[in-house]
């Protein structure tokens, strides 16, 4: 039986959710079948997170209906969602770093014997769950040392341990390297074969054809299209933004002037080395690379937020003293960090002449994969 033949496990009809001054969901229809990977696609602010929060019991819809197995349900809490077999994996995991993997997997429902936690039974059951996900982690290992990719897999194992039939993943690949994404996709495919229904949010368009079956596109709180995952990327972008990418980012011919920023042989021991590039007046230069490739670190070193061990940064032909933010600001450099809230100390540019954007500098890894190579796209945070 293919996914198309199966009855829907979940159906959302006309869902509406308002926050003060914002209509986050304005009539969303969405259906999910067992054994499919259904991608939720939309620009920042389109309503994706709000939709999954209503499914996981974090928000109550103002209007509309949620049906599970054809019956209208009320999801008022995380416990309600769990009882209905709906598990959500947020970007901030719900795991306790001080506890072991097994303790996290069975938090609040440890197997007991004579009133005591039966550690052996718990570790055995944890081992079985971890094996089902195919993650190589000891049940007795502390959560804290695991790293993001394996923590995510433990979250998936936890969802399976709660007999989740619907697994919702909010941008699971945003924090993974490409090898880790491959690994995650293997797991997702295995779950799909087991009949789990998966809601998958991603900003990486090329992942949609790789892992998805169907795509629901949200725009301004409305579900505007449901298309097969094989839909061409430029069509997906058109549906997402309501017009074509050429219209959204019209290419304005520009005549770059002289080099304003020159980076020569910049390096920080053990972090990156030999980085050289020019940014000319009137041009946008992308810094592409995988998560962990050192893009953020390069931007910080250029700005002086970290002290480089070698190389030189020149603005207008004048070398900046290394590791001196004040001199960088003085020279007209600005840094908009990727985590604006967390690192607000390096705030907005004081000059309109030159600014290093850590986000816009990495369109391929952080934003849309089809972002134009140069000259146009503004920075776009993938998080909403
Ligand atoms: N708790 C909240 N309070 C007020 N406004 C919110 C809240 N959550 C989301 N919004 C607003 O609702 C809209 C949809 O947001 P969200 O669902 O996070 O979109 P997405 O996940 O697609 O980026 C946005 O305009 C956002 O600012
Ligand atoms: Mg979001």
- Which pLDDT does position 2 carry in this prediction? 56
pTM above 0.85, yes or no: no
Check pocket membership of 45 for ligand 1, CB cut-off 6 A.
yes
Our answer on whether the CB atom of 44 is closer than 6 Å to any ligand 1 atom is yes
Q: Tens digits of per-residue pLDDT, 203-253?
A: 899 999 999 999 999 999 999 999 999 999 999 999 999 866 566 666 777
| Ligand 1 site, residue 384, Cβ cutoff 6 A | yes
The pLDDT value recorded for residue 370 is 37
Q: Which amino acid residue places its CA nearest to atom 12 of ligand 1?
A: 24
In the three-class reduction of DSSP (H, G, I as helix; E, B as strand; rest coil), residue 153 is classed as: helix
Q: Measured between alpha carbons, how far is 198 from 187 in angstroms, rounded to an integer?
A: 11
Residues of the chain with pLDDT under 70: 1-5, 243-250, 290-291, 338-384
Q: How far is the CA of 24 from the centre of ligand 2 (A)?
A: 11
Q: What whole-number distance in Å separates Cα of residue 368 and Cα of residue 375?
A: 15
Walk me through the domains of the chain, giving residue ranges and CATH numbers: 3-248 (3.40.50.300), 259-366 (3.40.50.300)
Structure tokens at 382: 């993938």
Report whether residue 202 contacts ligand 1, using a CB cutoff of 6 Å.
no
pLDDT score recorded for residue 291: 65
Determine which residue's CA is closest to atom 27 belonging to ligand 1.
45
Q: Given the CA of residue 51, which atom of ligand 1 is nearest to it?
A: 17
User: Which letter does DSSP use for residue 332 in this model?
Assistant: T
Query: Which runs of E-coded beta strand occur in 233-365?
Result: 259-268, 272-280, 310-315, 318-319, 335-336, 356-357
24 within ligand 1 shell (Cβ under 6 A): yes
């Amino acid at each position: 039986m293919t996914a198309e033949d199966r009855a829907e496990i979940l159906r959302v009809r006309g869902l509406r959710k308002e926050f003060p001054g914002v209509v986050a969901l304005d009539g969303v229809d969405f259906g999910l079948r067992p054994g499919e990977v259904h991608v939720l696609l939309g620009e920042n602010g389109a309503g994706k997170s709000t939709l999954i929060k209503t499914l996981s019991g974090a928000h109550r819809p103002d209007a509309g209906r949620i049906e599970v197995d054809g019956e209208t349900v009320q999801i008022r809490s995380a416990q309600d969602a769990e009882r209905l077999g709906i598990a959500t994996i947020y970007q901030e995991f719900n795991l306790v770093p001080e506890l072991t993997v097994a303790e996290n997997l069975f938090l609040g429902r440890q197997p007991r014997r004579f009133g005591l936690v039966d550690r052996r039974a718990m570790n055995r059951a944890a081992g079985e769950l971890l094996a089902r996900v195919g993650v190589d982690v000891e049940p007795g290992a502390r959560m804290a040392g695991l790293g993001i990719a394996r923590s995510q897999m433990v979250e998936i194992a936890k969802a399976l341990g709660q007999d989740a039939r619907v697994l919702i993943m909010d941008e699971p690949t945003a924090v993974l390297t490409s090898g880790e994404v491959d690994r995650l996709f293997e797991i997702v495919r295995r779950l799909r074969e087991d009949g789990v229904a998966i809601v998958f949010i991603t900003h990486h368009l090329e992942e949609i054809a790789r892992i998805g079956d169907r795509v629901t596109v949200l725009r301004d709180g409305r579900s505007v299209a449901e298309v097969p995952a094989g839909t061409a990327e430029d069509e997906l972008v058109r549906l997402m933004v309501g017009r074509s990418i050429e219209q959204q980012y019209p290419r304005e011919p520009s005549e770059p002037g002289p080099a304003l920023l020159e980076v020569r042989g910049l390096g920080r021991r053990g972090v990156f080395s030999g980085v050289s590039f020019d940014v000319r007046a009137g041009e946008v230069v992308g810094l592409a690379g995988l998560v962990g490739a050192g893009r953020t670190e390069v931007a910080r070193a250029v700005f002086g937020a970290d002290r480089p061990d070698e190389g030189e940064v020149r603005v207008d032909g004048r070398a900046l003293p290394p590791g001196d933010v004040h001199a960088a600001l003085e020279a007209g450099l600005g840094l908009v960090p990727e985590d604006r809230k967390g690192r607000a100390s390096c705030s907005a540019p004081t000059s309109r002449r030159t600014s290093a954007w850590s986000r816009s500098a990495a369109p391929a890894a952080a934003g849309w994969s089809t972002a134009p190579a140069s000259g146009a796209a503004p920075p776009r945070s993938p998080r909403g």
